[in-house]
Amino acid sequence: MRSDYMSIDHDRLFKELIQTFFEEFIVLFFPAMHEHIDFRHLSFLSEELFTDVTAGEKYRVDLLVETKLKGKDGLVIVHIENQSDVQTSFPERMFIYFSRLFEKYRKNIVPIAVFSYDTIRDEPSTFTLQFPFGNVLDFHFFTVELRKQNWRSYIRNDNPIAAALLSKMGYTESERVELKKQFLRMLVRMELKKG
């Protein structure tokens, strides 16, 4: 079998997972945010493609969701970006995405980065422009660092997002067999039905 048949498009699968279970993603990792979003109004926007003319690279935004806040007029856009490879310029890229999305849509943007590295890393959640005489910009984005999440905190949560991302969460090699057994119990408990 050729290797191109074996390759998996993880970005596409992540995007489909979040599109299918957007509310479950928000309630699992951002319960305070969940309280404010009106999930009756959800619209997934087309992919945005940005070109970095200085580097000659093109970047595609992973996921954009247009929604409303409860009791508020106007729309907000939730931007979710999955990052599985280490990239030192990632906070800057999040800021660039944010500013270009704001420029295009003129709506409040909620930026979220999901780090799905195979190792534990300390990832920044800010992008700062500063001078010796003061800061010009402090941009903050929400983060989920999957490897820092202890799988035991999520195993009893009958949330399809928790089930799908469990293998990317933190566990030791000695916990691997226990994790697999608990995962199977979780699936039985959830009684997943074919969609």
Instruction: Say whether both 142 and 104 belong to one domain.
Output: yes
Q: Quote the pLDDT of residue 195.
A: 46
Instruction: Say whether both 125 and 162 belong to one domain.
Output: no
Instruction: Say whether both 37 and 123 belong to one domain.
Output: yes
| 105 Cα distance to chain centroid | 20
Give the 3-state secondary structure percentages of the chain, helix then strand then coil, rounded to 5. Answer: 40, 30, 30
**What single letter denotes the amino acid at residue 141?**
F
Kindly report the backbone phi and psi dihedral angles of residue 77, in degrees, each rounded to the nearest multiple of 5, phi listed first: -115, 125
Pairing of strands 142-145, 134-140: unpaired
Range of the domain at 76: 3-148
Instruction: Say whether both 121 and 136 belong to one domain.
Output: yes
Collect the ranges in the chain with pLDDT lower than 50: 1-5, 193-195
Q: Quote the pLDDT of residue 73.
A: 79
Instruction: Say whether both 159 and 80 belong to one domain.
Output: no
Instruction: Say whether both 59 and 93 belong to one domain.
Output: yes
Q: Give me the torsion for CA of 21, 25, 26, 28, rounded to 10°.
A: 130
- Mean of pLDDT over the chain: 85
Q: How many domains does the chain fold into?
A: 2
The model carries a pTM of: 0.85
Instruction: Say whether both 144 and 187 belong to one domain.
Output: no
CA distance 32 to 41: 18
**What single letter denotes the amino acid at residue 185?**
R
Instruction: Provide the H-helix boundaries in the chain.
Output: 3-6, 10-20, 22-29, 31-34, 90-105, 160-165, 176-190
Residue 111, SS3 per DSSP: strand
CA distance 61 to 135: 27
